[in-house]
Chains A and B, each alone.
Chain A
Amino acid sequence: MEWLSEFGAIAAMQGFNGLSVFCVLLLMALGLAIIFGQMGVINMAHGEFLTIGAYTTFIVAVLTERFAPAFGPYYFFLAIVMSFFIAGAIGWVVEWAMISRLYHRPLDTLLATWGLSLIMQQIFRSVFGAREVSANLPEWLMGSLQLTDTIEIPRNGLFVMGLTILLTATIFLMMYRSRWGLQVRATVQNRAMSRAVGINTKRVDRMTFALGCGVAGVAGAAFTTIGSTGPTSGSLYIVDTFLVVVFGGAASLLGTIASAFSIAQAQSIMEFFMSGSMAKVLTLLTVVGILMLRPQGLFSIKVRK
């Protein structure tokens, strides 16, 4: 019977590991689902906004250590807020300077944002160097909770999960309860008509893009607790993130959550039993198979046509 409890413990810990991956993936995917699902913009530079958030966290950590060591244990909260606003502000500028000129030209947007992502990666490399950096985590984020003799739950994972739940709930409230959310959903369904009922769709687009990028920035802050930051940290996630958004159904936030969860869990549990790349191949095959049967993704909204 011993092997059974050991197996249970491995499954539980690996499952929790999967939850951490799920959290970063979900934060990334939520931002992308808003931008891609709602605006139809394929933002290849979305990963770089995660990197911006991660580097912001690193800078805040270094600065607190140097100038306000007493503040050290709590710098992370400031870092999250800063990551959101810095990534959001850069997103706002990018939308104004580039994306807004390319609406209704999806392939051009794809190329342009891919170019942007290369430029941003090189800027990171020139400024922070090619070596990966990592912020010193505050004491209370390190270590783990001992649940049973064999099951340990890392604290940083719990923190990231709390952050994800909070942010997801906020986004849902904004999309379904606020005037901004109403205007976003109207614009998605019929841009011309939205203008004709008095919605300033240009402003809505800019806000939406900035918010999506800001959320990616928060994902970056969360990312620093589970990995170290390099110039290409974000771009490693971009394929998985698109996979999550497409699999979930582009216009559905609930679908995004369900698909991020299933992809992250499948990936993480299978990785324990086979090599990482085999796990990825299996995940991809399953997703491709399901998408062939259900091209609209997991969740879609049903109305009379």
Chain B
Amino acid sequence: MFKISQLASGYGQSQILHELDLSVEKKEIVAVMGRNGMGKSTLFRSLMGLLPQWGGSIEVDGKDVSKLDTHQRVASGIAYVPQGRMIFPSMTVLENIQTGLPASAKGVVPEDLYALFPVLHDMRKRKGGNLSGGQQQQLAIARALATNPKVLLLDEPTEGIQPSIIKDIARSLKEIRNMRDLTIVVSEQVLSFTMEIADRFLVIEKGRFVVEEKRENVDEATISRYLSV
């Protein structure tokens, strides 16, 4: 469904990602774990085409998107929730969601989005910048889902969010996966969150995947050793 092979990328002269391979099945949730500076965000940014790609290929549903511009990748079915949420602060909640909608939707937000995040419906006339951190995170996810993706990329969705809301987000992610047959790749440092949702665990260290475990065989201690500073 979502296939990365030999992906290399970096900033300026320094290579950050070293020939990464990853293949994700339909409806699978994969967690990419790793400390700060190990290449999680770089991986996501180069998957979106926000960073120049040095080599390798990215396939969505059999289609190679690695030569496409960012907005064309979105149209091919990749959606992105960046670290720090990056909602549009001076636009209303409704307008924020509308930016993700394709032209054919004529600005109408699908009902199931509001069903997932009822708080966004209540606050649809408020400015995005005036929402709390957790609400902004839900807004960023809703905006990404509005593009009607096949693959959802989430970069550290729990960063700076209170624990009760983290549970909500985990629950909604699983719900979305079942509702829309979505493939999800999520990067995290918080193991408890990914233990709740992920089917497979990868650990990234200095731009290489060093551990790969199915959920059944995962040993929390091994992974947390890579996460502790």
A residues adjacent to B (C-beta < 8 A): 179, 182-183, 185-186, 189-190, 192-201, 251, 301, 303-305
Contact = CB atoms under 8 A, between A and B. Distances in A.
Contacts of B79: 197
B50 interface: yes
9 contacts: A179-B107, A185-B91, A193-B86, A195-B50, A196-B48, A196-B70, A197-B74, A198-B147, A305-B129
Contacts of B144: 197
Contacts of B75: 198
Contact of B129 (A195, A197, A198, A303): A303
B99 A182 contact: yes
B82 A194 contact: no
Nearest to A301: B90
B88 A196 contact: no
Contacts of B143: 197
Nearest to A177: B107
B88 A198 contact: no
Contacts of A301: 90, 127
A190 B71 contact: no
A185 B79 CA distance: 20
B157 interface: no
B90 A199 contact: no
Given A179-B103, A197-B100, A198-B100, A192 B50 contact: yes
Contacts of A251: 90
B130 A197 contact: no
Interface of B: 48-50, 69-71, 74-75, 79-80, 82, 86, 88-91, 95, 98-100, 102-103, 107, 127-130, 143-144, 146-147
A203 B206 CA distance: 37
Given A197-B143, A197-B144, A303-B127, A189 B89 contact: yes
Given A179-B103, A197-B100, A197-B143, 14 more contacts: A179-B98, A182-B99, A185-B88, A186-B88, A186-B91, A193-B82, A196-B70, A196-B80, A197-B144, A198-B74, A198-B75, A198-B102, A304-B129, A305-B129
Contacts of A304: 89, 129-130
B4 to A, nearest CB: 18
Nearest to B50: A192
Contacts of A199: 71, 99
A182 B102 CA distance: 12
Contacts of B128: 303
A208 to B, nearest CB: 16
A40 to B, nearest CB: 16
A303 B130 contact: yes
Nearest to B103: A179
A201 B70 CA distance: 10
A198 B89 CA distance: 18
A189 B88 contact: yes
Contact of A182 (B74, B95, B146): B95
Given A201-B71, A304-B129, A196 B82 contact: yes
Nearest to A192: B50
